Amino acid sequence: MVTRRALHFVFKVGDRPQTARFYRDVLGMKILRHEEFEEGCKASCNGPYDGKWSKTMVGFGPEDHHFVVELTYNYGVGDYRLGNDFLGLSLRSSQAVSNAREQGWPLTDIKGGLFQTTAPGGYPFYLENEEQPGADPVQKVMLGVSDLEKSLNYWSNLIGMKVYSKDEEKKKAVLGFADNQCKLELQDIGEAVDHRTAFGRIAFSCPKEELPGIEALMKQQNQRILTPLVSLDTPGKATVQVVILADPDGHEICFVGDEAFRELSQVDPNGNRLLDAAMAADKSDEWFKKHKMQKASA
């Protein structure tokens, strides 16, 4: 029985309105929930920032059975520098391709039926021009690694993912916890992985009782633990336990207790309204323009 599941990938965003347009109007995702925070996260969910920030979860359906995206917005930070760590997110949706054309959102035809587009901030997305499946349209997250064999050992033997395929010639492999879950594609980029300031984080859930064992295994194997097992509070919602890891190339990995997370991640029907209200109340762009200044670049 599979006890672990892929949950979401975290992107830092500097332009919230354009980002909302991309995910809602181009990809066709829904706002699952939106939360505002007055200070930084104990597990650095919003990066190394201590100030006010927001979290917006977007996806094609509830996180119970869809892989979704977490958008973190740090007030006052206008952009982040991209590295070579994140190579793309792939989804299957002819509707997204059609939406992009209607919206005038740039699309590049890579090969028959496969298009590349870019989310605000420069993050690459790959759209397969096929009918959106009944299951989750999100197919895989693609990350760059410096040594494929070393990474496979980590993600397969320590994290517990199954290797679904491996291409020796192209130096890449696809892994996952289950057939019906979003996959992880690791591609050897032939150089050191540079995360810059736009670095993301991939999240998985497991039974709460497995978290101490995951932490202990990583200690035993002398692997990096970025945040030891900690409880995170969301006002008015469930408290979850998480442990944050880093793979050999420094890709951040969050494991969260599944039971509490299922309660925390319930879809909020007010999500759209809360996001729109937060964007309307955020006058930072106008303030910086009035003072002839630019927002900070992370």
pLDDT tens-digit map of 115-170: 999 999 999 999 999 987 678 999 999 999 999 999 999 999 999 999 999 999 99
pLDDT tens-digit map of 153-168: 999 999 999 999 999 9
CA within 13 Å, CB half, 66: 23
Residue ranges of alpha helices (H) inside the chain are 16-21, 94-103, 148-152, 211-220, 258-264, 271-281, 284-290
Residue type, 279: M
DSSP letter, residue 76: T
d(CA 117, CA 150): 30
> Strand 172-176 relative to strand 252-257: parallel, antiparallel, unpaired?
unpaired
pLDDT tens-digit map of 41-63: 988 889 999 999 999 999 999 99
Q: Choose among 133, 91, 85: nearest CA to 116.
A: 91
Model-level pTM? 0.94
The domain locations on the chain are 5-297
Residues contacting residue 99 through CB under 8 Å, at least 6 positions apart: 25, 26, 27, 28, 105
Place of tokens 């009918």: 131
Residue 82, CA distances (Å) to 77, 126, 196, 199, 295 in order:
14, 17, 6, 7, 17
d(CA 37, CA 52): 6
Topology adopted by domain 5-297: 2,3-Dihydroxybiphenyl 1,2-Dioxygenase; domain 1 (3.10.180)
In the chain, % of residues over pLDDT 90: 85
The tokens of 160 are what?
Answer: 């517990």
Task: Annotate 219-241 with b (16+ C-beta within 10 A) or e (fewer).
Answer: eeeeeeeebebeebeeeeebebb
Q: Work out the mean pLDDT of the chain and round it to a whole number.
A: 93
In the chain, % of residues over pLDDT 70: 95
